[in-house]
Amino acid sequence: MTFSQVSKRFSDVQALQQVSFSIPENTIFGLLGPNGAGKTTLIRIITKIFAADQGEIFFDGADIKTQQYANIGYMPEEKGLYKKMQVGEHLVYLGRLKGLSKADAKAKTIYWLEKLGAGDWWNKKLEDLSKGMQQKAQFIATVLHDPKLIILDEPFSGLDPVNAELIKNEIYQLHQQGTTIIFSTHRMEQVEEICKTIALINKGQLILNGAVSEIKQQFKENKYVISFDKLPVLENSDLFIVDRVEDNTITLKLNATTAPNTILQYFIATGAQITAYYELLPSLNDIFITLVNKANHA
Amino acid sequence: MRKTLLIIQREYITRVRKKSFIIFTLLGPLFFLLISVLPILISSANKSEQHITVKDDSGLISALPDTAGLYFNFKYNDMPLDQLLPLYSTLDNGYDALLYIPKMEPDAPYGIEIYSNEQMSLTTKIYLESIIEDQLEAINLKNEELDKNMLLKLRPKVSIDDKVTSGENQVEGDAAIASAFGFGMGFIIYIVLLIYGTMVMRGVMEEKSSRIIEVIISSVKPFQLMMGKIMGIGLVGLTQFFTWAFLITLLNIFVGIAFGAQLSELQQAGSTGDGNMQAVADTMANLNNLPLGYYLTMFIFYFLGGYFIYASLFAAIGSLAGDEDGDVQMFAFPVTMLILISIFIMTAVVQQPHTPLAFWASIIPFSSPIVMPALIPFGVPAWQIALSISLLFGGFIFTTFLAGRIYRTAILMYGKKIKIKEVIKWMLYK
């Protein structure tokens, strides 16, 4: 999926400004950005809710404008269903709106309800379900018609850890079956856990795009963590700067010319017993905050 | 198209199977019957017995007929008035009133008085006057050696039959029936526009506030959803209307069987020449002569046209709803005003059906759905109906087009208060 020079303007706000990036096929892609960055606008263009002013989006070799609604499954951030309807008929209705036949929609609804441990929900009214249960139903509505592209906006908000795990496993399974998944959230630990590639948008502009592992390498600050059974006496050294000390663990920022092994040798020489030593990669959360702050101050 | 049908189906089924809909549809006609009968029941239940003692010094009135609520007594006729006056309310079980008829000539009945502790009701007073008049009339006729039938012959009852000659064919007209019928049709459409227009508005608001809208419009175009909703609810309205029409026909047949004897008596009375009865019988005959099929066709036409125009406006208003209810009221007010103005015009034109106001209101699409059905029983030329219907159709296309533009933008706007200036902008630009 490729985005080239996508722009969208609402009367007084430039929601997206020449955004270009691509999403590898069959990946779990994280679309990140602070509130009001333009994520939802971008998602609404992908889901054909409205069109871009400029630029093109290609998915599966065709312009998004000519794509069938059936190819896309969308779970918006603000979740909602017809509260007065029963779960079964509601899901069948949404499936048929996506182009499934009545029998197909019915069979798939039964399959998914069973799969998510909700086999006896068919005749229950949605308003009688808890928020988490409604969200499960919403997830089924998103994947019911076997879309090639699934867009999930904050899919875990409101779910308890057990159900969040359940949905997460379903997402992995769909991914293995070859579905492209766009995942939008503010929760960086979820992104680190689930996504392989990300894009970061701020104020309508793309500020970061790439594989999570590469991004982490790119933003690493040459920091290492070393733990001891008993903290050695720390003397000033031109090899490193002490970043922080906590219990028996020290975080060091290595000087540019210092090799990691030199540090090990240095501390072995102090006679202290080393229990752990590893490179500290920045969390996506840190990268996110740094970049957004930098962009906002620029 | 398949998707629009699916939406229509959902909107229709989820409403028609609601208990409140089923109950209101089945009991509606009975409810209306009750409403029309209730005032009579209440007023008859309100009537109490009144006992009146009569003191007649003229010797002209020897007896007065008792009726359901009034009982007359001449027991104390011989007691002088000044003795009777302080006593009448305590004599026997206590009389409610004392009717005093002084010495008088039957052709100059002056000085009749009624004494009571509580103010006499106007209807009782008028009734008393009329029965005394009847008795005096009988005496006077006798004195002048006249016959009552002779008197009636001298003043025959006149009733004018109206024949309307506009258009190609002459229509048998009856102004009273025309205005009643027209008013009824206009009024039903007025109710329909308000009830079902509001239903469309609420439906749109529900979709917006429950946030399901985003899921739906990632499957269908906003315009399809809007039209599907409008059509689905329109079908609900038609279902209700036809069920009512059917039930009322059944009710009529039932009433016909139960009270058939009285009706034929009424018709016989008409043929024997009693003036009032003749008028009633004529009215009934005229009702049967009305081109009901034609009226019904026109009614459904304007029902649908008016519904589509107003429902699309209400859909647009529903899409403008914010999280506070006040915003909707503000936007809905002008549309509701249009409907109210139409009903005011309609009430005026059924009394004066051939004025410029009637003409313009019957062709302008915002008022024609209410005004034209009310005018049709008075005879409207074919060209005027054709003009009105084409404008109605044009108005429907125009309002749905504008409403669609507002709807597709506004339905996704949350949080921020929408200004009228913005709405106008959405209507004008792509």
The predicted model gives B33-37 an average pLDDT of 70
What pLDDT is attached to residue A292?
A: 86
Q: How far apart are CA B403 and CA B167, in angstroms?
A: 37
- What is residue A269's three-state secondary structure? helix
Structure tokens at A25: 């096929």
Contact B298, B372 (CB under 8 A): yes
Q: Which among A76, A82, A97 is the nearest to B220, CB-wise?
A: A97
Is the pLDDT confidence value at A36 over 60? yes
Contact A49, A3 (CB under 8 A): no
The predicted model gives A191-202 an average pLDDT of 89
Backbone angles phi, psi at B159, to 5 degrees: -140, 130
A138–B220 CB contact, under 8 Å:
no
Structure tokens at B265: 């008596």
Q: Which among A48, A75, A93 is the nearest to B6, CB-wise?
A: A93
The model's confidence at residue B274, banded by pLDDT at 50, 70 and 90, is very low
Provide residues of B within 8 Å CB-CB of chain A. 3, 6-7, 10, 14, 206, 210-220, 412, 414, 422, 425
Q: How does A97-124 read in b/e, with b if 16+ C-beta sit within 10 Å?
A: bbbbeeebbbebbeebbeebebeebbee
A76–B211 CB contact, under 8 Å:
yes
Is the pLDDT confidence value at A90 over 60? yes
A80–B212 CB contact, under 8 Å:
yes
Q: Which of A95-99, B19-23, B56-60, B302-306 has the lowest mean pLDDT?
A: B56-60
What pLDDT is attached to residue B286?
A: 61
What pLDDT is attached to residue B384?
A: 93
Q: How far apart are CA B380 and CA B167, in angstroms?
A: 7
B210–A96 CB contact, under 8 Å:
no
What pLDDT is attached to residue A92?
A: 96
The model's confidence at residue B278, banded by pLDDT at 50, 70 and 90, is low
Q: In what order do the strands lie in the sheet with A28-32?
A: A72-75, A149-153, A180-184, A28-32, A197-202, A205-211
Q: Which among A47, A80, A96 is the nearest to B210, CB-wise?
A: A80
What pLDDT is attached to residue A51?
A: 84
B220–A69 CB contact, under 8 Å:
yes
Is the pLDDT confidence value at B263 over 60? no
The model's confidence at residue B43, banded by pLDDT at 50, 70 and 90, is low
Q: How far apart are CA A180 and CA A28, in angstroms?
A: 6
Per-residue pLDDT tens digits for B69-105? 788 888 888 888 888 888 888 878 788 888 898 888 8
The model's confidence at residue B163, banded by pLDDT at 50, 70 and 90, is low
Is the pLDDT confidence value at B251 over 50? yes
Per-residue pLDDT tens digits for B361-411? 999 999 999 999 988 888 888 999 999 999 999 999 999 999 988 888 888
Secondary structure letter of residue A51 according to DSSP: -
Structure tokens at A241: 């700067």
Is the pLDDT confidence value at A254 over 90? no
Average model confidence (pLDDT) across chain B: 82
What pLDDT is attached to residue B181?
A: 80
Is the pLDDT confidence value at B68 over 70? no
Highest mean pLDDT among A49-53, B116-120, B368-372, B420-424: B368-372
What pLDDT is attached to residue B40?
A: 64
C-alpha to C-alpha distances, B318 to A287, B303, B314, B332, nearest whole angstrom: 43, 21, 6, 8
Q: Which among B6, B206, B412 is the nearest to A97, CB-wise?
A: B6
Backbone angles phi, psi at A240, to 5 degrees: -150, 170
**To the nearest 5 percent, what fractions of chain B are helix, strand and coil?**
65, 5, 25
User: Which of A144, A167, A50, A131 lies closest to A94 in space, CA to CA?
Assistant: A144
Residue in chain A closest to B213 (alpha carbons) equals: A80
Q: Which among A44, A81, A96 is the nearest to B212, CB-wise?
A: A81
* Selected residues 140-199 of chain A with any CB under 8 Å from a CB in chain B: 141
Is the pLDDT confidence value at B128 over 60? yes
The verdict on A98 touching B (C-beta cutoff 8 Å) is: yes
C-alpha to C-alpha distances, B341 to B369, B371, B378, nearest whole angstrom: 12, 10, 21
Per-residue pLDDT tens digits for B169-205? 444 556 677 778 888 888 888 988 999 999 999 999 9
Per-residue pLDDT tens digits for A277-288? 999 888 888 888
The predicted model gives A287-297 an average pLDDT of 85
The model's confidence at residue B326, banded by pLDDT at 50, 70 and 90, is low
Contact B200, B376 (CB under 8 A): no
Residue B405: enclosing H or E segment and its boundaries? Answer: helix B382-410
Q: Which of A5-14, A36-45, B223-232 has the lowest mean pLDDT?
A: A5-14
What pLDDT is attached to residue B277?
A: 52
Residue with more model confidence, A89 or B211: A89
Per-residue pLDDT tens digits for A132-169? 889 999 999 999 999 999 999 988 888 889 989 999 99
Angle at B277 between CA B271 and CA B283, to 5 degrees: 95
Q: Which of A65-79, A107-121, B42-56 has the lowest mean pLDDT?
A: B42-56
Which residues of chain B neighbour A97 with C-beta distances below 8 Å?
3, 6-7, 216, 219-220
Residue with more model confidence, B422 or B316: B316
